[in-house]
Amino acid sequence: MSTAARQAFFDRTHSDDLIAFLGTSPSPYHAVASAAERLEKAGFRQVAETDAWDGAAGGRYLIRGGALIAWYLPEGAGPETPFRIVGTHTDSPNLRVKPLPDTGSAGWRQVAVEIYGGVPLNTWLDRDLGISGRLALKDGTARLVQLDEPLLRVPQLAIHLDRQVNDGMKLDKQRHLTPIWGLGPVDEGALIAYVAERAGLAADDVVGWDLMTHDVQPASYLGRDRELLAGPRLDNLLSVHAATAALAAVASAEGAAGLPYIPVLAAFDHEETGSESDTGAQSPLLGNVLDRTIHARGGTTEDRARALAGTVCLSSDMGHAVHPNYTERHEPGHHPMPNGGPILKVNVNNRYATDGVGRAVFAAACERAGVPWQSFVSNNAMPCGTTIGPITAARLGIKTVDCGIAALSMHSARELCGAEDPYLLASALKAFLEG
């Protein structure tokens, strides 16, 4: 497709909104709050897990920690009506604050951090880092905090002190990744006191925290023709944003009351560490939500079995574009490119959940949306990553398909993708949810 043709099709307002979404979502807790705000504008209302649910038509969502489940019940949905689910995750690899964060060495004040997920460590060096996450308070509530200012930095060792650095950098996770944030002796309690103050709280009100670092440089377009997009947490907030936009569009569209499926968004936390938590894909969270919506409409065990038998899930997560400097690392016959449309991810060893039938579902959605799509498979000599797709398929026994968009620098502090692909993905997801 020519540049002119692509620009005629491309809706840049979607990627503009993605950049804004990334800026307001430095942690999983902020990501679900940002997604909820967009759903509220589309008429969705929040429900609590501890309340009784009714079976009335309309859009609803619930938040549990860094996870969000949202769904739209069409007017005529029966208890046996199947679901169309888009599964994503809200977490990204980063540096997270330890329980006793105040540390230091040689006259420097530092912050103790723990490595979260599969982090390319060198990408966090010499970056201006802010702090975000949530504070747990004495009264049992939690307060989101987002400090978008250069507070921390992990300084790289000067080349004069490591002449072999360009022959291969080796970083010790315990010794070399501790950020600095000032000068002076270790000041116990200083970090949490500072964060609490910035959140408008007293330090002794804070009894726990889930805090993490984030690069304060905002996402931006890149390249002569602004055809690329560089930013933090594209894996996997790009999919969260696309799925949120798709669900909101489906629920707001004329004829939504007559949808043949119940569209669902499942944005889990902790995918980068195995999904084993009460907010991860291995938890019963999604299954419980689906069951409760069935029962709220008077459904039986038989109705549940029928509904899940007709249900399909698209697991939307980032994939690898062919890297021009490392083409030998990729499968020779499969070279996904940015702005080539969503990718279908396949692995016969079930690291991805896609099979031939799932491929047909994905292809049909892309055709209805009028967007191109690509195939991704790993080089046989390289290990293959995985997603929430196989977990969801096994956990619920539902047809699941793995997809996403092609990107470079996955898991780095800043990642890179095509500026048009977020819109193309959202369009395909919308067509899938519509059935």
C-beta pairs of 323-326 under 8 Å, 24+ apart in sequence: 323/408
The residue among 301, 266, 298, 300 whose CA lies nearest residue 285 is 266
Average pLDDT over residues 395-413: 97
What's the pLDDT band for 76 if we cut at 50, 70, 90?
confident
Q: Which amino acid is at 68?
A: L
Average pLDDT over residues 95-102: 98
Task: Indicate if the pLDDT at residue 3 is higher than 80.
Answer: no
The pLDDT, as a whole number, for residue 147 is 98
| Pairing state between β 343-345 and 374-376 | parallel
Alpha helices, DSSP H, located in 273-355: 285-296, 301-309
Task: Indicate if the pLDDT at residue 4 is higher than 90.
Answer: no
The pLDDT, as a whole number, for residue 5 is 45
Contacts of 391 (CB under 8 A, 6+ apart): 275, 281, 282
Task: Indicate if the pLDDT at residue 269 is higher than 50.
Answer: yes
Q: How far is CA 389 from CA 124, 316, 331, 395, 419, in A?
A: 29, 8, 21, 10, 25
Q: Coil, strand, or helix at residue 376?
A: strand
pLDDT tens column, 20-34: 999 999 999 999 999
What's the pLDDT band for 10 if we cut at 50, 70, 90?
low
What pTM, to 2 d.p., does this model score?
A: 0.96
Q: How many CB atoms lie within 10 A of CB 300?
A: 12
The pLDDT, as a whole number, for residue 255 is 86
Cβ atoms of residues 131 and 198 within 8 Å: no
Looking at every residue in the chain, the average pLDDT score rounds to: 95
The C-alpha atoms of residue 82 and residue 69 are separated, in whole angstroms, by 16
The C-alpha atoms of residue 248 and residue 61 are separated, in whole angstroms, by 12
The C-alpha atoms of residue 15 and residue 219 are separated, in whole angstroms, by 10
Q: How far is CA 244 from CA 12, 17, 45, 108, 149, in A?
A: 17, 12, 14, 43, 28
Task: Indicate if the pLDDT at residue 399 is higher than 50.
Answer: yes
The pLDDT, as a whole number, for residue 120 is 96
Cβ atoms of residues 237 and 23 within 8 Å: no
Tokens describing residue 387: 């997603």
pLDDT tens column, 200-258: 999 999 999 999 999 999 999 999 999 999 999 999 999 999 999 999 999 999 889 89
Q: Which residue shows structure tokens 């307060």?
A: 143
Average pLDDT over residues 93-116: 98
Percentage with pLDDT > 70 across the chain: 97
Average pLDDT over residues 48-59: 96
Average pLDDT over residues 67-88: 97
The pLDDT, as a whole number, for residue 216 is 97
Average pLDDT over residues 35-49: 98
What's the pLDDT band for 8 if we cut at 50, 70, 90?
very low
The pLDDT, as a whole number, for residue 106 is 97
Full set of structural domains in the chain with CATH: 3-92+232-434 (3.40.630.10), 94-215 (2.30.250.10)
Task: Indicate if the pLDDT at residue 9 is higher than 90.
Answer: no
**Which 8-state DSSP code applies to residue 125?**
B
The pLDDT, as a whole number, for residue 210 is 98
DSSP letter for each residue of 72-105: EE-TT--TT--EEEEEEE----EEEEEEEEEEEE
Mean pLDDT check: name the lowest of 6-10, 113-117, 417-421, 427-431: 6-10
The C-alpha atoms of residue 99 and residue 199 are separated, in whole angstroms, by 19
